[in-house]
Structure 1
């Protein structure tokens, strides 16, 4: 079947696979370094406890068969090693079926992590990585021409990512229709980056241009992905440019980078390098790709129905394997930035004059003089959930108490998620949390104080709390 292959996209496929392998590597390393405090046996939301109430059909995972922290670490580091090898091109030296199996193992390992990750893994980019990773299984390797059906499925995925995000905005917050959301977004986004303050201080007419350009890129440009070349390449290029703008303006884990990677297979790079002579694909491969295409199209019913619905949901999976999902972000934009500041004291009885020492996080705002850091595509899961905690205590109810308890115990794994421990010699006697209103300083304030932020106390978030006599250390109850 000559129509089955698209040799002109040989280089585009190769670049996409390398980019996807790099993002898999980031995801697995992040899981390995953060899981013990978040979902480990003694974590805030332990996997063993979750699995007692989550059957295999609802949360398919290798950890349904066995869980221990050592086994989880082994799976995560194995995923990282396999990803690094793919990044180096190892799968291109193997037979087609072996390369496909390699990609499938990566997908299954990360699916196993996401399906036990609970609220720590409830982000749209987790499903996006899994959906892209599933399609990558069927893209072939350097020894085969890319199958045109899978290339179209990748465009279909990119279309849903962009178009779904555009629809959720235009239907959601009125400020998107008035083109005023970006008056606030750069300041109130979950984790600002080092340039976010400069983006926030752009003139308001430029913010309106930003919002209008966002609507064009997300609602009109994605349709052009399905047009002939070179229009499709130009559309993909516009999406890449928009995503790079977002990379510069904030930290959104690997969402922007994966969207950029998904745009690459739509770009015709044949002028840069001619494909080598490639054998005809085996019949079993053609049949398998056609079957997968039919499956994806059938599973697209619910995401399409969601997109056309006035009650469109953001970032939702319709099957436990995360094969075909719906996407979208920032249907509502906050006007005010709140931050939960966590503090401890070693005094035995808190008094009005008690000295409280602040726990510093790696990414989220705290110290007003500290310049926000660039962490994306690495995902600081605790820092992101602290943003939600500031929006409403309900978001933090399942895990915040466990977090405070671990601070009171000087839990090593939890403290590794933070930038520093203000109590290196002994645990604090009390921990409290306070809610502050944060705003970026203007140029004059920045010059006068050297501060990046200014903050104003709002209210107590958690009163001074200590371990009660007889409390069992976290994770041993």
Structure 2
């Protein structure tokens, strides 16, 4: 599964590297004195190398289905927030799923080493990695993670390989870059100015820092007990990454239900369901397509579904806010079954197993994208008064009904 903070660490590291791409003495969008240091460019290449190799190694070490080439039999259905394309990809034949898994291993375990094989193979690496991320974007809603992963891959391309993107008209960006390169080449024959000395010192110091912070990261990659999405320094400048080290074979969902009944145990009590914005709930609702946007609450509900509510106390916190009909919390939901009415007296969590319906089958013909089967209660009915001590013990602000 993907760590809850993996994308934040990657964003921090990518942003830190981006600082050193900027011109040191000017705010111009094009550096007037020197191009970005090769040390910075290799910093980005080192980042994409660790992201992909870490993801590949954690899969091989973490779940036997990756070694048996069967993980893709489950992935589309059980990923955090499936999209409509995943619905159809899930029904691909077994041999296609095996082919997908082999391609995944090739991209994550073999292609990263293309970075070390010269300019042309480095460009091939960048193309393959960007194409791979595009395929992941098409087949799933993994927030902005795939878009962010494309950023360091851009460092695999040099000016010559990207020249076709820029205008060739006189005075265009391509000519400006070429003119700057000629000026830079001439300046290299002149004594270095003070600013160039400072820049070189900064770049060398930056390279030494990255190398030093990479030591525990490399040791982790070589360790058979590799951990993923972990940082060994408080600023998260150089981190270790990985994704889907284990694949859940069945999809379970927590469905929140409310009732206005005085007695939650009354067999006649009517329980109405809250729907989230994107995660599976209503069986007839089409899976959403939101990438690169990220519904964090929907994502966290995916984690909660294969854990217990004791491991996810925040879900009881959420129930209390729904009982109080807090507007900020309700804005995170797709539907409020008690809109325009008195708030519910009780909220409970029910645990269901979800599966994609079969395209063209009975359930699909009825408009159902999902079929489900109840597993049992996830957390028992709770009311606002009964949660007061629960909130106080954790120093949480007690929700008050409007």
TM-score bracket for the superposition, by shorter chain length: 0.7 to 0.9
- 2:397 matched residue in structure 1: 475
- The Cα shift of 1:349 comes to 2.2
- 1:146 matched residue in structure 2: 36
3-state DSSP of counterpart to 1:460 = strand
- 1:83 matched residue in structure 2: none
TM-score normalised by structure 1 residue count: 0.72
Is contact 2:116-2:122 (8 Å) kept?
A: yes
3-state DSSP of counterpart to 2:336 = coil
- 1:445 matched residue in structure 2: 362
CA separation in 2, counterparts of 1:418 and 1:173?
34
3-state DSSP of counterpart to 1:343 = strand
Equivalent residue for 1:289, pick from 203, 207, 210: 203
Cα deviations by residue, 1:132-159 (Å, 9 ceiling, x for unpaired): 1000000124124121110001000000
Is contact 1:388-1:395 (8 Å) kept?
A: no
- The Cα shift of 1:448 comes to 2.4
Cα deviations by residue, 1:257-309 (Å, 9 ceiling, x for unpaired): 11112211212342324324335673212211110110011000111111100
- 2:17 matched residue in structure 1: 135
Is contact 1:186-1:197 (8 Å) kept?
A: yes
- Give the structure with higher Rg (CA): 2
5 Å matches for 1:272-283? 272=164, 273=166, 274=174, 275-278=177-180, 282-283=196-197
Is contact 1:389-1:395 (8 Å) kept?
A: no
- 2:347 matched residue in structure 1: 431
Equivalent residue for 1:155, pick from 25, 45, 68: 45
Cα deviations by residue, 1:50-73 (Å, 9 ceiling, x for unpaired): xxxxxxxxxxxxxxxxxxxxxxxx
Is contact 1:436-1:455 (8 Å) kept?
A: yes
5 Å matches for 1:325-364? 325-350=239-264, 351-364=266-279
- 2:58 matched residue in structure 1: 168
- Superposition RMSD in Å: 2.0
Equivalent residue for 1:197, pick from 87, 92, 113: 87
- 1:309 matched residue in structure 2: 223
Equivalent residue for 1:223, pick from 113, 116, 127: 113
Aligned length: 358
Is there any run of 5+ residues in structure 2 with no aligned partner, and where? 24-29, 167-173, 188-194
Aligned pair in 2 of structure 1 residues 358, 391: CA closer, same or farther (>3 Å)?
Answer: same
Is contact 2:69-2:101 (8 Å) kept?
A: yes
CA separation in 2, counterparts of 1:470 and 1:447?
41
- The Cα shift of 1:422 comes to 1.5
CA separation in 2, counterparts of 1:220 and 1:410?
52
Aligned pair in 2 of structure 1 residues 202, 461: CA closer, same or farther (>3 Å)?
Answer: same
Aligned pair in 2 of structure 1 residues 230, 469: CA closer, same or farther (>3 Å)?
Answer: closer
- 1:210 matched residue in structure 2: 100
